[in-house]
Structure 1
């Protein structure tokens, strides 16, 4: 699985996003995966717009 950065997240070529979010309480490392349909070029992820290109 290859991953590459997209905004505040890492996008992998198998259709998942790994999010690393930072807030006032410290750094939150969310290891949850969000499935992205391959036809969508941008999604709203935890309040951030993440551009995804295939």
Structure 2
């Protein structure tokens, strides 16, 4: 429902729907990268390790 309802409710065109789906699926890795790098939170996607910002200092 989360993926299907907004395009129907907003009556998106096909090109808008394609962008919506691409951005929807790319947001999860982007959020993981930001939280892992800036907050040291690695539990979101543990199979993809991104170093914590403070660990890079030495």
TM-score calculated relative to the size of structure 2: 0.23
Which is greater in Rg? 2
TM-score calculated relative to the size of structure 1: 0.23
Higher relative contact order (CA 8 A, sep 6+): 1
As a proportion of its length, which structure holds more helix? Answer: 2
